[in-house]
Amino acid sequence: MNFRTELTINQSDFLINHHQKIVSFGSCFAEEMADRLLNLKFNVLANPFGILFHPLAIENALQRIQAKTLYVEEEISNLDELFFNWDHHSSFNSISAEETLENVNNALVKAHDFLTNADVVFITLGTSWVYKIKELNLVVANCHKVPAKHFDKVLLTEQQIKTSLHNSLDMITEMAPNAKIIVTVSPVRHLKDGMIENNVSKAKLLSALYEVTMNFDQVNYFPSYELMMDDLRDYRFYADDLLHPNKQAVNYIWEKFASAYFTPETQQINKQIEKITTAINHRPFNEESISHQKFISNCIKQMQDLVKANPNLDYQQEIEHFKSKLNHVN
């Protein structure tokens, strides 16, 4: 007897390895996936404009990146002594306009250079709801805690989403013709919009993605939303806020992602990296003990052997850190 509808995902016709350059755009779920890739030593540029929730924000970021259109001081706003840009997440905010401008432009230039040579682009859409600042008649990527009275809240039409997605995918393929693109809808629920409104929002994203991706051979849809809503389908897989997937759920979605996009060789390397990471995070009772010194030496050798077999992996910082522990004791 079956008590759940498990979603089986076939292996993708393109696979990811540690030699490739990966760029992610989108919601906080895109951040979660990028962090896991980074922890496994993949070469990843995660959200160069910070967390972006809706298709228009991602399209706008790609337009600026493709054209390499730097921001100017007039595009920097401020509130409560913090300076920000409407296209970016609050992680770019600072206490001076000059610093914020430098932050956003450095990220833009880096993203242009990285995306031009990208092998994989990962896009996660979070919502169809957007906020338009009345004074500027501008759809923003982030409200930066500006009072709600300054915005109109608008639900994008399916046609607007499809047009935006099409533009984004066109720009990616123009910048990186050989790149493969993975698109998904975030499993995070936006219940601040309302239960019905969240479902309508997600439905529009799903419908638009389903239609648009059929026009691009290099685009692959990963069902993270469906894994959460139809496969796991239980509140025990949510965090305390009942909005975000908990660690167990994210682990499950990650395992499905890994089986779909990693070769057996890549998965074996990932296991070795995870083993080394566990060792690196080990906190000894006595760093000067003979047993711990042997442990450090063994960790260094494991990292050096792994890098020798996989030159794309970067363990220089970790190796130097462990060597300093040996030097300190000796």
Q: Which domain holds residue 276?
A: 272-329
Q: Is residue 104 part of a domain?
A: yes
Mean pLDDT computed over 103-121: 97
Q: Do 258 and 276 belong to one domain?
A: no
Q: Do 134 and 106 belong to one domain?
A: yes
Is the pLDDT at 247 greater than 90? The verdict is yes
Query: To 10 degrees, what angle do helices 316-329 and 264-280 make?
Result: 30
- Residue-wise DSSP of 214-239: GG-TTEEE--HHHIIIIII-SGGGB-
pLDDT score of 327: 59
Q: Is residue 12 part of a domain?
A: no
Q: Do 296 and 223 belong to one domain?
A: no
Q: Is residue 309 part of a domain?
A: yes
CA distances for 92 relative to 72, 99, 108, 303, angstroms: 15, 9, 12, 34
**Boundary-marking domain end, from 227, 262, 297:** 262
Q: Do 125 and 173 belong to one domain?
A: yes
Task: Quote the CA–CA distance of 140 and 32 in Å, as a whole number.
Answer: 23
Q: Do 297 and 157 belong to one domain?
A: no
Q: Is residue 131 part of a domain?
A: yes
Partners of 125 in beta bridges: 185
Q: Do 243 and 292 belong to one domain?
A: no
Q: Do 127 and 91 belong to one domain?
A: yes
Instruction: Quickly state the pLDDT bin for 328 (edges 50, 70, 90).
Output: low
pLDDT digits (tens, 9 = 90+) for 76-97: 999 888 999 999 999 999 999 9
Q: Is residue 15 part of a domain?
A: no
Is the pLDDT at 312 greater than 60? The verdict is yes
